Amino acid sequence: MAQTIIVVGGQWGDEGKGKIVDFLAEKADIVVRYAGGNNAGHTVIVGDKKFKFHLIPSGIVHENKLNIIGNGTVVDPEVLVSEIEDLERVGFKIDERRLVVSSSAHTILPKHREEDNPKKDVHARKIGTTGRGIGPCYRDKVARTGIRISEFIESDSEITRKIRPLVKDTCFIINEAIDQGKKVLFEGAQGTLLDIDHGTYPFVTSSNPTAGGALTGTGVGPTKIDSVIGVFKAYTTRVGAGPFPTELGTEDQTNAEGRWEDIEPVYKEALKEALEKANEGDEYFQGKYMRLMGKEYGTTTGRPRRTGWFDGVAARYAVMVNGMSAIAIMKLDVLQGLKKIKICKAYEVDGKITENFVLDTKKLWEVKPIYEEMPGWDGDISDARSLEDLPENAWNYLRRLEEISNAKIALVSVGPRRDQTIVIDDSVLF
């Protein structure tokens, strides 16, 4: 059993980390957010209630847990106060026993949001930023011209008065908790392929969402980490621009579908049509079926996500650079109904086959995925609570994902609720 666990996204974000953090947080004492800002979106479903968080750690819905926003994050004070007030409105008491913010975290200011506006900034529009001021804030941090939260709360306003009691030197709190034997869960945002150093640059975020970012983003040394859990969908998605080797259809086709508010009125009819055409072999509708089944629309932006088959080449890369102990496979239920399912096991680049991820982004645009095809399965698997409850073809698919990804599967999700989780290997969990 582990005492300290890092949860990290293995793809381009939106993998379902919020659910895994919520699942693991039941046994954790502290949940720490270590990178990114309110460009992240984590959805947690508890009973019949749905919570959407952009900045506060997902563990906040649990009683008697301390949630920490670490120094590696960038904090928009207005968003933080808004999320706190939303929680208070539904009955949560938010004080320093439940939520603290690192004094060393940097502050997103109105000027950062204005500069990051995709409607005004061509570069922001090109790379598909969320327009929340994340990049400009990190830039000022690195340029040593930023404002830390400790400095921001020196001014007097309604917002600073709300935040001030929560601001602490969190690196000491986290390390003391670990030394005392408490269970600490590190919550990632975005995903490996969006990492500023290891992702598909420049179509990346401005921080390090990889496991290494959990160390620098909290002030915890590497020898204090017991387990790294990588989170992957049973397929692949991407929001915004950038290369996507296994994409089904095109980015333009996806964007033309509209946001969830446009889709919802015709959802059932669209889903039925997508499944029929997907099983006839239409690649665009295969992607559309996954998008509709998985309700792949951004928590933060509402944008439709580009969809594609599971990219085993990218997964192996993510397992390697994060040193993943095990992986969690999310949304396996989204694939039900498809007659054939594909897994990308290699790339063809410049006429040659490679099993390594292509780090040159210009070349990644041009790679041809080499697929392995497997039979799909029919029937609803959302009630499965063990591998034995799954259809044989679903079980075989999971085994193949393990082999291609070079990592053992610890958890499988078959639905959005906390109880719709199959535990396969608990040795790397709390």
Q: List the catalytic residues.
A: 14, 42
User: Are 53 and 44 a contacting pair, CB within 8 Å?
Assistant: yes
Q: Do 242 and 127 form a contact (C-beta atoms < 8 A)?
A: yes
Structure tokens at 360: 């040159």
Sign of CA dihedral 403, 405, 408, 412: negative
> Count of CB atoms within 10 A of residue 88's CB?
11
Both tokens assigned to 30:
């502290």
Other CB atoms within a 10 A radius of the CB of residue 252 amount to: 7
CA angle 18, 23, 29 (to 5 degrees): 100
Task: Give the DSSP letter of residue 34.
Answer: -
Residue in the block written with tokens 């990492």: 195
CA distance 338 to 156: 58
Instruction: Say if strands 326-330 and 310-311 run parallel, antiparallel, or are unpaired.
Output: unpaired
Q: Which of 299, 302, 288, 269 is nearest to 334 (CA)?
A: 288
Please give the Cα distance from 251 to 239 (Å, whole number): 9
